[in-house]
Amino acid sequence: MVATITGTWPVVSAEEVSELLHTSLALHPSLALHPGDFSVHLHRPEDFLIVLASRELKDRLAGDH
């Protein structure tokens, strides 16, 4: 999964993307993530590569909600 920060935002760190992903998905109990479920890496100056720990997790996040 790739996340892109667009617009006139200040610099955003991989840690901030990780925190936002945890916080956003915590609102949906069936989508909640746990430590180690994913990692966030800088991909380009404004992009982040989000690596999920398993295919099952990817399928759960990609499903209907």
pLDDT in tens, 5-44: 777 777 888 899 899 888 888 888 888 888 899 999 988 7
Instruction: Report whether 45 contacts 60 (CB < 8 A).
Output: no
Q: In this predicted model, which residue has the larger pLDDT, 56 or 1? A: 56
Does pLDDT of 4 surpass 80?
no
Backbone angles phi, psi at 38, to 5 degrees: -155, 165
